[in-house]
Structure 1
Amino acid sequence: MDEEIAQYRDALLSEIQADAQAGGDYLSTRFIDRVCQVLEAGEEFVEYHVCRGHTTSRRGGHIQIDAYSFSPNDGVLNLIVCDFSGEAAPRPLATDEVRRVAQGGFRFLEGSVHDAIADLWDESHPVHALSREVFSIASSDEMTKACIYVISDRLAGATLGRMPEFSLGTKDVELHLWDVARLARVEASTKGREDIIINFLGEYGCGIPALPAGLDGAARYDSYMCVMPGSILASLYDRFGGRILEQNVRAFLGDNRKVNKGIRDTLRSQPEMFFAFNNGLTVTVSDLNTNIHEFGHTEIIRAKGLQIVNGGQTTASLYWAKKAGVDLSQVYVQMKLSRLPEEGFEDAVHDIARFANAQNAVSASDLFAGHPYFKRLEAISRQTIAPPARPGEVGGFWYFERTTGSYKVELKRKVGLAAKTWQLVNPKKQLLTKTDVARYDTTFEGLPHIVSSGAQKNVAAFGKLITQAWGIDPAMFDVTYFRRLVGRAIITRAVDGAIPAQSWYPGSIVRPLSSYTLALMSSRLQSAGLQPDYDEIWRTQRAPAAFMEEAMRVARLVLPLLMDIPEEQVRNRLVTEWVKKEACWLRVEGSDLELTQDFLATTMPAAAGTRRRPVAWKDRAQQLWRDGTWKRLHDWNRLETRLTAGEAEIVEWAAVASSFAPKGFRLLKLEEAMKHATQEGFV
């Protein structure tokens, strides 16, 4: 085993052993969760859930499932199965071992669809509900294909033989092997994911016709106007899924898998006119290769790091149209492609996405990845050193990673003693990502059902909260805010680690249970005008013992509310789907669960400025006037006629007012009108 890979494996095993000791969980379960985090961050799949079940089929075959993920926007069902050794010097992964684990995953898929293997587990077991859910997904048009991920802490053998090929009826089942070497490469990458490399000439038999833009020599990038065949574009989305969409574009698309009506009609009736009718794509790459033919025309034959920053709906619509049997052979899409320099690549991609989408129906929160909030947070995190957690240790920064991989980039710039010193004051355990920040803040703001819906949806919801608050008062995001955020991170991570150690914990839902527990505690504290003692948490860099004791008590009482799933609310009563529902949060928040007086005595008054201030209606009404919402409400009501005559009159006044400073009765009536409109469906 290569020395770097061996060092990576040793560090990985040490990390999960420490987690397992703290949480009392199985090493293999910690390994699965840790690897799934890497794969989710690398955009292999979204919204994974650990759900373990190993058994034997009625015919004697091995059945295995360790985690799963389903992506509605591209219809891909991912089943994760694990080979875990945990040994200090394991032998290489042999072909028959990979086959056994992969076939175990496929038997779970096939058996769920054709053999009702859910009955091999008790109805109370999470895998029983998962098997029924897999049947529902795979036996309908929800699923376009399945992927089986075999993950291992061992190195794949140098002479690994032919892998099994699977299919489920007419649907493909792909096999992906992630051994420790592949994991090490991805984690060492500054991007945290495998590069998308497309060999157009070798894989599709043709290059992409391109016209160089001929930019001034001072420009730090190259641009081309291209003609992209629709069939190739659909194939790229099929191969790479959301990985080829810039994160703002993914957030905008969400789970929308419908073919745009205009695109669908054009594809069916006038496919040759698609190039003229469609606005096309804006695409960035980190590198490319071209061919210049004897008559001077250029073709792009290879591209690396391809990201679609505008045109995600076009791409997804072509993909779904192809899945529906539409012939794309006459469809071509105009594409503006830019090769960007490596330095500042991610910021440049976000900026291009922002400007390219400026004239589209994309809100500021949809373009949240490049928001100034993140630059503010980055600056504060570099200037605010935290106290040492233990006597004799040094203080360290909570390093906020505004651009993916920036922590690794900075570390690689140092050598020898300088690298060790930098890592000492920037410990990896105190790394904060955008996904982390969104999870911590959204949980404590009372949206655990959104947090449980996956990182992408949660970041989008977080974007709406921050965009609104930033528009009112950017100054609220200061050092005090950052320290509170770190306090929430410390608390959340401590609760995540403590829950699996509890004797009453059934497994599989640690993060939803943690999020619901903390959201309920935060809700009860806010109702009492209280908050955790963030000053103490910052000073000690640990969650208070009283908080942890209360959190475990609350978590045990919240658990039955999550596990008692109404069938009319959730198909197959799958707990990981139930916790995404607002009805689940309403049940928990509306329960009679209260915090103990002993715990409340350890908290602090929620002083002004220490938490995000609620927006006063007067300020909110002013903001709605500035952004044109009153005019939009007026136009909506003219079509829908849902407001009372008095409400319509006051809204009309707000819509046409050249200046806006309502007071008293008029301000009250505007609030009533907005509440009524929202209840009637205005958004």
Structure 2
Amino acid sequence: MELREYYTELIEKLLDDKQISGNKISEEFFSYYTSRLVNTDEIIGEPKYLYFEMYLPQGRCQINGYSFNEHDGILSLYIIPPISDETLESLDKEKASKYLNYLSNFIKKIDKIVDESEESTEGYDLAYDIYHRSSQKESEYYNLVGIKLVILTEKVRVNSLDTIEISEFQGLTITKQIYDLNTLKQLDESYNGKKDLKITFSNEIIGIKASESTDYESYLCSISGLTLARLYNLHGSRLIEGNIRSFLQTRGKVNKGIRATILKEPERFFAYNNGITATCTNLEISNGVVSEITNLQIVNGGQTTASLANVLLNDKAENQLRQIFVPMKLNLVSNYNVADELIPQISRYANSQNKVSEIDLASNHPFHRRIEEFSRKINTPMRDGYNYGTHWFYERASGQYAQETYKMSKTIKKNFEKINPKTQMFKKSDFAKYHNIFDLRPDIASKGGAAAFKSFSEWIISTWNKNDGIIDEAYFKEQVSNIIIFQKVDKLVKISPWYNGYKANINAYSISYLYWWLNSKDKIIDYSKIWKEQDISESLTKIFILVTKKVNEHLTNPDRPIGNVTEWAKRKQCWDDLKEKIIIPENYDFRNSVLNKEEIFIDKKDGFMLKENKLFSLIFKEPAIYKEFHEILLNNSNFSAEDFQLIEKIKLENKRKVSVEDGKKFNIIIEKYAKINRIFEIWLKKHL
């Protein structure tokens, strides 16, 4: 595809997404571009859209978002120049310098921002945390070592911007990066949505092939300690395989024993150290000398690597590192279809002897594959005016949604997106957030990232080990209903007249509060109704309008014990304090949006949620009604053998222990029966 054609399609997509979401086009572009950069590990951390601008005598400052790589101590600040939705433009050096200066001023004039900006904004909170980081050990920015200033643009940068200088400010390394239209096109068109990281070598790595199969090749290698240290200092935790990155926590840490060996006995390092295990997707090796590795990922030995890098950085021990050679088992997995499953398994077994737990590796748990299967086959109910259902697409692996449309024609792509709308795509990180909200832990949901996913993974492993049958189609539909609630609340907050930031926190706390309140009243939301309508009721909408406003007041209360709102939202005390407040009127009429818990209970033996259906009593307690129903069920071609067997099963089980899924099937049978028996339909409406 030509660049101009790609630009036109991109703008059309952004405008469509803007129309659906109600967001600004810059926010849609931020979300679209950063999601691809996260997929390729160009961004490590969770990007957050945050528009902030301020005019100071010393110059204008502006950011459109940020992300924090806690493993390397790098804070990235993003800016998006005005987007042209008509003409493909270039980004020259003068314009790039202007926007990079806006970003730079956020750091260089941060004291002015803290002193003079509005305190009840997320931009102020970010500036305050950075400015006071050294005096607050609990701050996530306490070990900040560098700032990355990033331009995200739909324009094409000129060649003179290929390299940008590195600078320093108050002990922080300042780097600059421009991601333009060409880079985005490459990411979208690459096979797996990732940009290959190719590293070239001279004579720093020697190796021999040790094993070979249809799926992979293994090489036993020796890599120069100085080379490995420089690689890590250059690429950071991008070299560490994603599933174990959060466990390794390598930034700033150095093993004392490894350091002593490096400095005192470098010649014995090879004998003392177990070395590293790594994977790659391509390898150039000739006569035992490695000349190029593509997509190098260290799956075991992260502490060794980080220790070498820290000694180089802090002890300036280049001479010792030149004498060191590190054992490396390098696994070449060139088939992308195999790599998705095999590389995580290599990671898992390579770490089976250390502290990396099942939770650290749970992103590849079979739970996610089952949810993926459901998301591809379960159709939503057809809505009025449409003769087709849609899918809620679960992106089990990063970039799956984009990969599905890889090299599709426009017609096929349009049809795919019709059945799998982008607004109904959710990722693992989203799922973790929704789960924690549903589990009444909005404080953990507010932490996001690794903390939220770890809590989710603990639940997955515990639940799966007890009874994986719980993760069925009914569970999937219930979770989608939770997502529908979240999306609706998100839109309500965005258009509220009082809204001034902290949307993610307001969403999490508002939904958890309603769930908690209903639970305290022995009630629960009727998820089957939400699934059927693919929307929430008017009564739920009205109560969320009330709750979100009160939650915002709670989070931004001037008397809160922690000044930073986002940090306050991460504390359990924030959640406990909210539960002490009466927000929902006792007599609020939820109409038919909630169910009484008397109708729903848990079977302790099997772990299934069960439901006593009012229809059961109506049908089975009236002999004349049941007799006619049974007769038609047996003889009418509108009803299948499965329908008949289900009714017999429910009658046999005395109407009590019936799964939610069977209960829903029973309701469908009754609806079919009512359509062909007008007298029964009138009787049913009268008694319900």
| TM-score with structure 1 setting the length | 0.79
**Alpha carbons of 1:334 and 1:155: their partners in 2 closer, same or farther (altered >3 Å)?**
same
> Counterpart in 2 of 1:604?
594
Give the 3 Å change call, closer, same or farther, for CA 58–353 of structure 1 in structure 2: same
SS in 1 for 2:555: helix
- CA change 1:255–1:161 in 2 (3 A) is closer
Equivalent residue number for residue 433 of structure 2: 439
Q: Does the CA-based 8 Å contact 2:76-2:149 persist in structure 1?
A: yes
Query: Against the structure 1 CA distance between its residues 40 and 416, is the aligned structure 2 distance closer, same or farther, given a 3 Å change threshold?
Result: closer
Equivalent in 529, 533, 539 of residue 536 of structure 1: 529
Question: Residue 334 of structure 1: SS of its match in structure 2?
Answer: strand
Alpha-carbon shift at residue 479 of structure 1 (Å): 0.6
Work out whether residues 522 and 598 of structure 2, in 8 Å CA contact, stay in contact via their aligned partners in 1: no
Q: Which residue of 2 aligns with 1:50?
A: 49
Is residue 120–residue 556 contact of structure 2 (8 Å, CA) maintained in 1? no
Which of 297, 300, 304 is 2:294 aligned to?
A: 304
2:205 is the counterpart of 1:208: yes
Match of 1:626 in 2: none
Q: Which residue, out of 107, 110, 124, partners 2:108?
A: 110
Long gaps (5+) in structure 2: 136-140, 608-688
1:574-604 deviations in Å (ceiling 9; x for gaps):
3232222222222223433336643544433
Residue number among 48, 71, 75 corresponding to 1:77 in the alignment: 75
4+ runs of 1 displaced by more than 6 Å? 138-141, 565-568, 606-617
Which deviations, in whole Å up to 9, do the C-alpha atoms of 1:495-550 show, x marking residues without a partner?
2233111110002x222221121122222222333222211111122233322222
Paired with 2:483 and 2:96, the residues of 1 have a C-alpha distance of 38
Q: Is the 8 A contact 1:401 1:434 kept in 2?
A: yes
By how many angstroms is 1:463 displaced?
Answer: 0.6
* Partner residue in 1 for 2:325: 332
Q: Which residue of 1 aligns with 2:353?
A: 359
The change in CA–CA distance for 1:583 and 1:592 in structure 2 (over 3 A counts) is same
Contact persistence 1:72–1:255 (CA under 8 A): no
Structure 1 residues 411, 122: closer, same or farther in 2, change over 3 A?
closer
Task: Please list, as runs of the form range in 1=range in 2, the aligned pairs for 1:592-671 lying within 5 A after superposition.
Answer: 592-594=582-584, 597-605=587-595
Against the structure 1 CA distance between its residues 614 and 307, is the aligned structure 2 distance closer, same or farther, given a 3 Å change threshold?
A: farther
Across the two proteins, how many residue pairs are aligned to each other? 596
Residue in structure 2 matched with residue 253 of structure 1 by the alignment: 248
| Residue from 116, 122, 126 that aligns with 1:126 | 122
Quick check: 329-338 or 124-133, which moved more? 124-133
Give the 5 Å matches for 1:178-193.
178-193=179-194
Q: Which amino acid aligns with 1:392?
A: Y
Give 1:484-563 correspondences, 5 Å limit: 484-507=478-501, 509-563=502-556
Q: CA deviation at 1:466?
A: 0.8
The secondary structure found in structure 2 opposite 1:553 is helix
Q: Deviations over 1:289-318 (max 9, x none)?
A: 1232xxxxx122211122222223333343
Instruction: Output one character per residue of 1:326-367: Cα deviation in whole Å (capped at 9) or x when no partner.
Output: 626144322111111222211111111121122222221111
Change in 2 beyond 3 A, CA 1:500/1:419: closer
Residue identity over aligned pairs, in percent, reads 27
Matching residue of 1:295: none
Q: How far is 1:486 from its partner?
A: 1.0
Answer yes or no: is 1:368 the counterpart of 2:362.
yes
Matched position secondary structure for 2:393: coil
What is the identity, as a one-letter code, of the residue corresponding to 1:133? D
Amino acid at match of 1:354: R
CA contact (8 A) 1:388 1:540 kept: no
User: Per-residue deviation at 1:320?
Assistant: 3.9
Residue of structure 1 equivalent to 2:131: 135
- What's the offset of the Cα at 1:270? 3.5
* CA displacement at 1:473 relative to structure 2: 1.1
User: Are residues 1:282 and 2:272 paired?
Assistant: no
- Taking only aligned residues, the RMSD between alpha carbons, in angstroms, comes to 3.1
Partner of 2:460 in structure 1?
466
Contact 2:523 2:594 in 1 (8 A): yes
Q: Secondary structure at the match of 1:195?
A: coil
400 and 127 in structure 1: CA distance in 2 versus 1, 3 angstrom threshold: closer
Partner in structure 2 of residue 588 of structure 1: 578
Paired with 1:588 and 1:265, the residues of 2 have a C-alpha distance of: 51
Corresponding position: 1:380 with 2:381 = no
SS at match of 1:303: strand
SS of corresponding position for 2:330:
strand
The aligned residue for residue 647 of structure 1 is none
**Change in 2 beyond 3 A, CA 1:131/1:428:** closer
Q: In structure 1, what is the Cα distance between the partners aligned to 2:369 and 2:497?
A: 43
Partner deviation per Cα, 1:450-483 (whole Å, 9 max, x = no partner) = 2222323322221111111111111110011010
In the aligned structure 1, how far is the partner of 2:149 from the partner of 2:467? Answer: 47
Match of 1:225 among 217, 220, 226: 220
Q: State the secondary structure of the residue aligned to 2:85.
A: coil
- Aligned partner of 1:65 in structure 2 is 63
Structure 1 residue 314 corresponds to structure 2 residue 304:
yes
Amino acid at match of 1:436: D
In 2, the alpha carbon distance for the partners of 1:78 and 1:616 equals: 48
Using the alignment, how far apart are the partners of 2:231 and 2:606 within structure 1?
48
Contact 1:283 1:338 in 2 (8 A): yes
Q: Secondary structure at the match of 2:536?
A: coil
Q: Partner of 1:148 in structure 2?
A: 149
Contact 2:193 2:402 in 1 (8 A): no
CA 1:34/1:220 → structure 2, altered by over 3 Å: closer, same or farther? Answer: closer
Distance in 1 (CA, whole Å) between partners of 2:307 and 2:521 is 49
C-alpha contact (below 8 Å) 1:92/1:156 kept by paired residues: yes
Provide the secondary structure at the position in 1 that maps to 2:80. Answer: strand
User: CA 1:166 to 1:375, structure 2 compared with 1: closer, same or farther past 3 Å?
Assistant: same
Q: Partners of 1:419 and 1:260 in 2: how far apart?
A: 51
Q: Secondary structure at the match of 1:69?
A: strand
Q: What is the CA-CA distance between 1:187 and the residue it aligns to?
A: 3.7
Mapped contact 1:247–1:369 kept (Cα < 8 A): no
Inter-CA distance 319–267: structure 2 relative to 1 (3 Å threshold):
same
Q: Match of 1:605, as an amino acid?
A: L
Other-structure match for 2:86: 88
Aligned to 2:26: 28
Aligned counterparts of 1:550 and 1:381: Cα–Cα separation in 2? 30
Contact 1:281–1:308 under 8 Å retained in 2: yes
Query: CA–CA distance in 1 between the matches of 2:169 and 2:154?
Result: 29
Given that 1:284 and 1:349 are in contact with CA atoms closer than 8 Å, whether structure 2 keeps it comes out as yes
2:197 aligns to what? Answer: 196
CA positional deviation for 1:319: 3.6
Letter in 2 for 1:563: T
In structure 1, runs of 5+ residues without a counterpart are 293-297, 618-683
Mean Cα deviation higher: 411-420 or 271-280: 411-420
Residues 290/123 of structure 1: CA separation in 2 closer, same or farther (3 Å cut): same
How far the C-alpha of 1:177 sits from its partner, in A, is 0.5
Question: Contact (CA 8 Å) 1:450, 1:458: kept in 2 or not?
Answer: yes
In 1, distance between residues paired with 2:309 and 2:533? 52
After TM superposition, the score normalised by the length of structure 2 is 0.79
- Contact 1:99 / 1:163 at 8 angstroms: preserved in 2? no
Contact (CA 8 Å) 1:5, 1:181: kept in 2 or not? no
Q: CA deviation at 1:447?
A: 2.0
Q: Structure 1: how far apart are the matches of 2:265 and 2:558?
A: 48
Query: Which residue type is aligned with residue 583 of structure 1?
Result: Q
Q: Relative CO higher for 1 or 2, CA cutoff 8 Å, sep ≥ 6?
A: 1
Q: 1:107 corresponds to which letter in structure 2?
A: N
Q: Contact 2:164–2:177 (CA<8 Å) still a contact in 1? A: no
